[in-house]
Amino acid sequence: MNTLLVLLGPTGVGKTEWSIRIASALNCSIVSADSRQIYRGMRIATAAPTSEQQEQIPHYFVGTLSPETYYSASNYEQDVISLLNELFAVQPVVILSGGSMMYIDALCKGMDELPTVDETLRRELQELYQREGLDPIRRQLKILDPLFYDQVDLKNPKRVIHALEICLMSGRPYSAMRTRPEKKRAFRIVKIGFTRDRNELYNRINHRVDAMVEEGIVEEARGFYPQRHLNALNTVGYKELFQYFDGEWTLVQAIDKIKQHSRNYARKQLTWFNKDQEIHWINLSESEPDVMSEVMRLLEQEG
C-alpha cells in the first residue's frame, strides 16, 4: 500500500534538512505542511526551502498562493488529497513535512464538513476586527458558542474569527460541528517526530532568527507592511517587525521578541504533537542518531 511519511516537529528542529535527505534516499517528493510557506514572498520569515533545495527534490505547496488568498486547513486537506492521488501513481512513498498542527491533522484525520463562509460576512468581521479589535468578536462567540469560547486561544484572531464565522453561517455552535469520526485514508500513514533537548532547540531557534536578519527578513517584512492586516502576515517574524516599523519597539527589541515568540510556538507545537500516540519520536540531540535506519525500520514495520 502507498505510504504517506509524515515528518513533523517544532520550529527550528531541522525538518527541512532531514526531509530532503530522506526524500533523496527514497526518491520521492515532499509536500509542505506549513500554513505560511504556502504563500509567495515569505521565504525568509517561514524558513522555506531554497530554490536550490526545491531543484534537488520536488516540493509542493511552497510559495504557491498570494498572501491575499483565503486558505484554510479544509482547503489544504482537499488539495493535498487530490495531489497525492497523482503522486502515488508514480511513487510508493510521499513525504509530508512541516509543523502546522491543523494542516497535519486535516490531512491525516480529516476535517469537519463546515459551511462555506460568505465573503461579505468574512469581510465584515475582518473590518470589525481592524476597527475595534478582537473584543467584540469574542463577546459574540461567547454568546453563540460558550463551549468553544472556553477552549479556544482567545488571543488567536484567526481561530476566534473563524469560529464566529461558522456560528453565524450555520446558525449552530461551532463546537457542535467538530465531532466527526476520523476519516479513513486510502494510504498508510507513518508519523515520525523530530525533537531535540530543550536548550539545544532554543539555541537553534535563536541562531536561526539571527540568520534570518542577516538574510534580509527586515526588508522582506517592510515590503509587506502596507498589507499588514492580511491574516497570512499575522505570523512570527512579521508581526514583531511591524511593531518596529510602527515605532513601538527598537529593532533589537523586535528581534528578541521574534526569538521569544518562536520558542513559545515550539513549546505549543510539542504540546500538541505529544497528544498523538501514533508519532514515533527521534531525538536529534542524541549521539549520532541513525535516522535513516529508523525511518526504514518504521516503513517496513508499518507495512
Q: What Rg, from alpha-carbon coordinates, does the chain have?
A: 20
d(CA 129, CA 157) in angstroms, rounded, equals 8
d(C-alpha 97, C-alpha 105), whole Å: 12
CA angle 23, 63, 89 (to 5 degrees): 45
The total of other beta-carbon atoms located within 10 Å of residue 252's CB is: 9
The pLDDT value given to residue 286: 86
Alpha-carbon distances, residue 237 vs 33, 147, 260 (angstroms): 19, 32, 11
Question: What is the mean predicted confidence (pLDDT) over 100-109?
Answer: 93
Q: Answer for the pair 24, 56: CB distance below 8 angstroms, yes or no.
A: yes
pLDDT digits (tens, 9 = 90+) for 249-270: 999 999 999 999 999 999 999 9
Tens of pLDDT, residue by residue over 172-191, are: 898 887 766 678 899 999 99
Sign (positive/negative) of CA torsion 239, 211, 42, 64?
negative
Cβ–Cβ contacts within 10 Å for residue 286, how many? 10
Count the neighbouring beta carbons within 10 Å of the beta carbon of residue 137: 21
Name, in order, each residue with C-beta under 8 angstroms of 164's C-beta and a sequence gap of 6 or more.
125, 137, 140, 141, 144, 174
User: Of all residues in the chain, what percent carry a pLDDT higher than 90?
Assistant: 79
Strand, coil or helix: what is 2? coil
Which residue, among 193, 147, 216, has the nearest Cα to 295 in the 3D structure? 193
DSSP conformation class of 231: G
Q: What kind of fold does domain 119-177 have according to CATH?
A: Histone, subunit A (1.10.20)
Residue 279's pLDDT is: 97
Q: What is the pLDDT at residue 37?
A: 96
Q: CA-based diameter of the chain, in Å?
A: 56
Q: Calculate the CA 237 to chain-centre distance.
A: 14
On the CB side of 157, CA atoms within 13 Å amount to 19
C-alpha dihedral over 180, 182, 183, 186, to 10 degrees? 180
Residue 181: predicted pLDDT: 65
* CATH code for the domain defined by 3-111+188-302: 3.40.50.300
- Comparing CA positions, the residue from 297, 291, 300, 301 lying closest to residue 24 is 291
Nearest to 18 by CA among 5, 7, 34, 26: 7
Q: Cell digits for 228?
A: 499588514
Q: What angle do CA 59, 293, 279 make, to 5 degrees?
A: 65
> Could you tell me the three cell numbers for 31?
509536500
Domain boundaries, the chain: 3-111+188-302, 119-177
Region 48-63: what's the mean pLDDT? 96
What is the grid cell recorded at 38? Answer: 504556502
Q: Does residue 98 have a pLDDT over 90?
A: yes
Residue with cell 520558542: 263
pLDDT score at 175: 86
pLDDT tens, 14-31?
Answer: 999 999 999 999 999 999
